[in-house]
Each structure stands twice: as structure tokens, then as C-alpha cells.
Structure 1
Amino acid sequence: MALVLVTGASSGLGRNTAMALADEGHDVVIHVRSPARLTYVDDTARWKGVVVGDLAKLDEIRGVAGQAAGFGRFDAIIHNAGVLQSPDAVTVNTVAPYVLTALMDKPGRLIYLSSSMHRTGSTDLGRLAAGTASYDDSKLWVTTLALALASRWEGTSSHAVDPGWVPTRMGGPGASDDLAAGHLTQVWLATHDDVTPDTGGYWYHQRTETPHPASQDEEFQARLVRSLEGQTGVALG
């Protein structure tokens, strides 16, 4: 049985991920933006716990990290929360996963939600400070973060996952990928030991793919971490 945190778990892929983990008997702590996002009467009974905070706001990201600390060291953290539109995209999609990773005890497994759209993201990190980053940029950067952390801490693996373009509220009704398959890779990476590679993978439906070259470039990885440290005032350690 694993202790797993899933961010952005009130709906869509995050909720499907959390429910699948709970159904398998794991202890699941969910993150929601506000208590109003708990929409089903069985929510509080199903979960090990709930942490609350708006990941578009730095002080609330810190608050989420503090709440999560009360549950001890997680076996896995799934950084699922995401938004499509600027100006919050870079904060929710990249900054929040970075700050939570930096502030929380290092789990056994880190899993970050990417997107096929990361391949058209920009390596211009000036957009981070300027607040002009696009969704594509934010997904390139969080993919880069995931791969930068793949061998940073002993005992902690790190992966990026493209769940596909699925018909959630964010993906829209015209999305062409299978919603039921959208969360399976995250659940598998969080709970199974027969994963190859055991760290540093970019995954789509339980198969590795080749991500944007910049995400695997050690120099760009280091520049991104420095930029995030400067932007947030939070050192990665």
C-alpha cells in the first residue's frame, strides 16, 4: 500500500487518478483548489486526506506544501494540476510543481504531467519572469524539470507523462484520445516496480517516447532550475 498525493484531483484526470489509486487500496491524499471543489458526498470518506490551495498563488502553494507535510513522506507525488490559459499556466503548470518539490520531503517517486504540446514550447526562459509564457512553454519546462530531477536525489525517481488529448473540461469535448487510458500510466508509475527505465522516462500510455531535445539537455535543465529559484526565492536543494 502506497501513500500518494495527487494535485488537481477534484475533476478530470486528477480525480480519475486518485479514484483508481484508492480503488487499489492505496492511501490517497488529494489536493483541491478550494473546499467547494469537493463535489461528491463520499469524497472525505474515500481519501486519506485533503489539502487545499490555489496553485496560481505562491503563498498558497507554500500552504499546500505545509499541509501535505502533516501526512509524512509520500511514496509518490503526482503533479497533475494544470491550466490551459495564460497568465496562470506557467504558475500552475511549472512553478507550483517546482515549489512543492523543493519544499516537501522527497518522495520515492515524482510524476509530472506533461503534454505532446511541450514539443512546441520555447526555451526562452525570459518568458518565465515576464509572465508571457504559453501553455506549450509551461509543459516543456515541467518536462525539463522532471528529467532534471531523474537522478538528483538517491531513492527518488522522476518521470514525465503525456496523458494524451483527452475529453476533460480542459481538453474539451472534441479531444481524440481515450479518457479511460489517460490516468493509467500515472497510477502504474506511482505503484509498480517493474518500470523500465526506472527514472527519467517520458511516457505516453505506458510506453516511452522521445521528448523535446531541450528537456534532456543538462545545460538547459540547469538554467531552468536557476530561473525557477530566482523567480520563487525557493532553492531546490
Structure 2
Amino acid sequence: MARIFITGSAGGLGLNAARALIQQGHDVVLHARHGSRFAHAGAVRDQAVGTVVGDLADLAETVQVAEQAGQYSPFDAVIHNAGVYSGNEIFSVNTVAPYVLTALMARPRRVVYISSGMHRWGTPDLQGIDWRNAARRPAAYSDSKLYVTALSAIVARRWPDTESNAVDPGWVPTRMGGRSAPDDLELGHVTQVWLATRDSAGDRVSGGYWFHQQRREPHEAVNDAAFQAELLAELERYTGLALP
């Protein structure tokens, strides 16, 4: 039995992952931007071992999310699932929040960051980036997913005792993906659940970018040491927090 924290787990892929993990017998801690969102979680909310509330678009609230989650630690795995596709909050939710939570929370055995195939259209140019206002970047969503995929690779390198991986869940028909999304919703949460709980007695998996349990090659910047260093410096400058 593992204890797992999932951000953005009151709906969509996060809720599906939580449901699957609970059905497998694991302890799950849920997170939602607002407490009212748990009304959509139904039985999963009742079966979870705890809930955490906080707006990941707000830096101060993200710090509070880390503090609340700490009450349920240690975690065997953390799944950074929360994400947005549009609006000024893209960088705050998709990149800054996973960084802050990673920096502040006790190290889990495994950490999974939700990426996207669209990260390949992201730009590694960080000049003039405004972490508060994604509207200033035409490809902000793709950029944010490139950055969080690179963060996953950075954590894999820095924390050799923690398995860190990024997952492309596909374009699935969730609230964010839209009803017309072409990929299979039932497969959307499978890889992150597998990475968070798999039997690793025979091998160790870290530093990967995955799509439907198959390892894929990410954007070339993801594993570029110079870009990784620049990204960490920018995130540390903005948040005031250093990644251990």
C-alpha cells in the first residue's frame, strides 16, 4: 500500500487516477483549488485519507498547499496533475506550482509530472518571461509544459533516490481537454498510476518522458544542462525558493 498525493484531483484525470489508486488499495490525498470542487468527487472524496485546498495560481496559497499536504506525509508518490490550458495563470499552475511543491515538500520515493505532447512546440527562450502573465507568450501552454518536463528531468538528476518522470496523458475529453478531444479518457490516467505504484524490485525508472507506458523522446531542451540551469535560476528568482 502506498500513500499518494495528487494535485488537481477533484475532477478530470486527477480524479480518475485517485479512483484507480483507491481501488488498488492505496491511500490517496486529494487536492482542489476550492473546497466546493470536492462535491464532484463523490465516493472518491469519502474514501480518500485526506483533502488539501489551495489555489495553485497563487504563490502564497501554493506554499500553504505544501504545508497542508505535509500533515499527511510521508508520501510514497506525488502526482503533479493540476493544469490549465488558457488564461494568465498557465505558468503559475503548470510550472511554478509543481516547482514550489517539489521544493517545499518532503521528498517522496516517486514523483510524476503531467506534461503534454504540445511541449514539443515550446520554446526554451526564457528571456523576459513573466511568470504571472502567460498572455504575453503566444505559445504559453506549450512553453509551460516544456518547462515542467525539464523540471522532471532536473529532479531525476538531482535526487537519485527519487524516481522522477513526466507523462503525456494524451488529448483526452476532460473539462480542460474538451468534449471533442480524440484520445482515450480511460487511458489518460493509466501511466501516472503505474509510475506511482509499479513494482520496481527488478529495475528503476527515472528521468523518462512517457506516453501510454511507452518511453518517448522529449524536446531536446528537456535534457540540456544549460537550459535546466537557466530554468532553475528563473524559478528560484521568482519564488525565492531553491530546489534542494
Where on the TM-score scale, by shorter chain, does this alignment land: which range? over 0.9
TM-score normalized by the length of structure 1 = 0.96
In the alignment, is the contact (CA less than 8 A) between 1:112 and 1:143 conserved in 2?
A: yes
Q: In structure 2, what is the equivalent of residue 7 of structure 1? A: 7
- Once the two structures are TM-superposed, the CA of residue 8 in structure 1 deviates from its matched residue by 0.3
Structure 1 residues 192-201 or 54-63, which shifts more?
192-201
TM-score with structure 2 length normalisation?
Answer: 0.93
Matched, 1:205 2:212: yes
The correspondence of residues 1-237 of structure 1 with structure 2, limited to 5 A, is: 1-39=1-39, 40-129=41-130, 131=133, 132-133=136-137, 134-194=140-200, 198-237=205-244
Unaligned runs of 5+ in 2: none
What is the one-letter code of the residue matched to 2:154?
A
Distance between the aligned counterparts of 2:125 and 2:144, measured in 1? 11
Structure-1 separation of matches of 2:16 and 2:212:
15
How far apart in 1 are the matches of 2:146 and 2:56? Answer: 18
| Structure 1 unaligned blocks of 5 or more | none
Contact preservation (8 Å) 1:78, 1:111: yes
**Is the contact between residue 19 and residue 44 of structure 2 (CA under 8 Å) also seen in structure 1?**
no
CA deviations on 1:112-169 (whole Å, 9 max, x unpaired) are 0000000000112135336334101000000000011112124211000000000111
Where 1:129 maps in the other structure, the secondary structure is coil
Equivalents in 1 of 2:128, 2:23: separation in Å?
41
* 2:119 aligned partner, one-letter code: H
Q: Is the 8 A contact 2:6 2:30 kept in 1?
A: yes
Q: Which moved more, 1:59-68 or 1:154-163?
A: 154-163
Does the Cα contact within 8 Å between 2:7 and 2:81 map onto a contact in 1? yes
Q: By how many angstroms is 1:45 displaced?
A: 2.2
Find the aligned partners of 1:21 and 1:43 in 2 and give their Cα distance: 10
Q: Which letter does structure 1 place at the counterpart of 2:33? A: R
Amino acid at match of 1:181: L
Given that 2:30 and 2:45 are in contact with CA atoms closer than 8 Å, whether structure 1 keeps it comes out as no
Number of matched pairs: 237
Q: What SS is found at the alignment partner of 1:150?
A: helix
Structure 1 vs Structure 2 CA RMSD: 1.4
Question: Aligned partners of 2:116, 2:52: CA distance in 1, in Å?
Answer: 25
- Once the two structures are superposed, residues 70-99 of structure 1 have per-residue CA deviations (whole angstroms, 9 ceiling, x without a partner) of 112110000000000131011000000000
C-alpha contact 2:163 2:204 (8 A) present in aligned 1: no
Specify the SS of the correspondent of 1:22. Answer: helix
Q: Is the 8 A contact 1:90 1:128 kept in 2?
A: no
Tell me the CA shift for residue 217 of structure 1. 0.5
Kept after mapping to 2: 8 A contact 1:129/1:231: no
**Deviation by residue 1:184-215 (Cα, 9 ceiling, x = unmatched):** 00000000034866100000000000000000
8 Å contact from structure 1 (residues 115, 161) kept in 2: yes
Q: Contact 1:151–1:157 (CA<8 Å) still a contact in 2?
A: no
Distance (Å, rounded) in 1 between the aligned partners of 2:44 and 2:182: 29
